[in-house]
Amino acid sequence: MTDEIVKKKVSIKEAILNKRMLICIFNGFASGLPLYFLAQLIPAWLRTEGVDLKTIGFFGFVLLPYSFKYVWAPLLDRFVPPFFGRRRGWMLISQIFLILTMGACAYLRPQEHIDYILYLGLLIGFFSATQDIVLDAYRRELLPDSELGIGNSFYANAYRVAGFVPGGLGLIMADYMSWNSVFLIISLFMFVGIIHTLMIDEIETEIAPPTTLKEAVVGPFVEFFKRDTVKHGILVLAFIFFYKFGDVMATTLITPFYLDVGFTKTVIGTVAKVVGLWSMIIGGFAGGILMIKLGINKSLWVFGVVQMLSILGFAVLSEVGPNVYMLGVVVAFEYIGVGLGSAALMAYIAVNTSKNFTGTQLALLSSLFSLPKAFTGVVAGALIEGTSYFAGIGYTSYFLICTVCAIPGMILLFWVAPWNKEAKSL
């Protein structure tokens, strides 16, 4: 018994302290930065410039490329850039375009260029989604099955740490300098991704890329639905869509919510983000260890409950008002719950992906839980503020609805990830 415990401790240590985990962290940061640039910094910019909440909610459509990235993912699987290899080449191309498009926001003003800001946001979303396709594929090819849980936990938490740059540092700077300067400075943080891309190696794999575009497009979908049954495949897709539906709804307008409650940009950028950072680091580390011990299926159950309960914290904050201590508690719980849920879901997606079609299948599956981000902003803005046809329900009732929307994903766990059955790798 003692020997088994020692071996288990060693395996956990080896799973955490290796170069692969460091790569997951830097890739997660590069992936999260443009997403939070769109989801947190731009909404805060628009709100402080007098744009109404319904219009800001409409800007959720800039996240549509994340939901349809599987459309052009086969091209990234099929074609190899003339430099740095199939994965690293596309990483570098997308990251260069991200710096250029993010920095271009500095030259626009909401009251004069609202349409152009929307189009530019869509471009940022496209290049960010393209980067995600290759980063996800690279991570799946990098990690052995035994490290999928902890690797995706580190990736997910680094992804959210990146949110402190546009959503924390960016907001603090906006209190002391022009928005033009803020956008230029924040965009330069994409150099972290570029430098990292130049330093890592292309993954050596025995699996050859698709030889034709038809094989790259059709093969991933045929393999996925033939793997078990079409019915089970549909259940898996439904689960991935609904598992994070509630918390995506709750956080879609989170920065405008903090502002409307009465917090200053500096308070949001310091208290909310610093508390969130430490909560995420602690929760992410603990979550990674738990996934090694519990396995992916049980983790989805446990983390899903925590994730669902954390949404209720926003309803409490809405009632309490601009209390800094309550803000810290709510943010800490939210970052732990949502961070754990994201890590478990990403590990589940990875283990349900065939290594023969890594890029396209990961793009297809991950795009499903990104889909609500594109339209929930519009729904949220209308529900909270109301329209000419009905009165708004306010923030508190909205967050209660978000909690209810998290239930279908938990129910689907009975079929796609039973508690006493572990996920099987492909």
pLDDT digits (tens, 9 = 90+) for 170-182: 988 998 999 999 9
**Residue 9 pLDDT level (bands cut at 50, 70, 90):** very low
Is the pLDDT confidence value at 1 over 50?
A: no
Mean pLDDT of 98-126: 93
- Contact assessment for residue 331 and residue 324, using Cβ atoms and an 8 Å cutoff: no
- Tell whether 373 is covered by a domain: yes
Which one has a higher pLDDT value, 362 or 27?
Answer: 27
pTM, 2 dp: 0.75
Task: Say how many residues make up the chain.
Answer: 426
pLDDT value at 4 more than 50 = no
Count Cβ atoms below 10 Å from residue 400 Cβ, excluding itself: 16
Two structure tokens written together for 398: 């909205």
Does residue 299 lie in a domain region? yes
pLDDT > 90 fraction of the chain, expressed in percent and rounded? 39
Does a structural domain hold residue 117? Answer: yes
Residue 318, domain CATH: 1.20.1250.20
Mean pLDDT of 47-59: 81
Residue 320 falls inside a structural domain:
yes
Which domain covers residue 179, as residue numbers?
A: 7-416
Classify residue 98 by burial, with Cβ atoms within 10 Å: 0-12, 13-18, 19+. Answer: buried
**Within a domain: residue 1?**
no
- CA 69 to CA 112: how far, in whole Å? 30
Taking CA atoms, 189 is separated from 33, 67, 130, 231, in Å, by 8, 24, 18, 44
Instruction: Kindly state whether residue 421 falls inside one of the protein's structural domains.
Output: no
Helix ranges, 42-109 (H) = 42-48, 53-58, 64-67, 73-78, 86-104
pLDDT in tens, 203-239: 877 677 777 777 888 888 888 888 878 888 899 999 9
Per-residue pLDDT reduced to its tens digit, 238-295: 999 999 899 888 988 888 899 899 998 888 878 776 787 777 777 767 777 788 788 8
Average pLDDT of the residues of the chain = 85
84 touches 78 (CB < 8 A): no
Segment among 152-156, 315-319, 354-358 with least mean pLDDT:
354-358
Q: Is 423 within a domain?
A: no
Q: What is the largest CA-CA distance in the chain?
A: 70
Find out whether 353 and 140 touch, Cβ atoms under 8 Å.
Answer: yes
Q: What confidence tens digit (pLDDT) does each residue in 378-415 have? A: 788 889 988 778 888 999 999 999 999 999 999 999 99
Number of domains observed in the structure of the chain:
1
> Residue 62 falls within a domain, yes or no?
yes
- Structure confidence at residue 284 (pLDDT): 67
pLDDT at 68: 87
**CA-based nearest residue to 132, from 358, 375, 386, 341:** 358
pLDDT at 293: 80
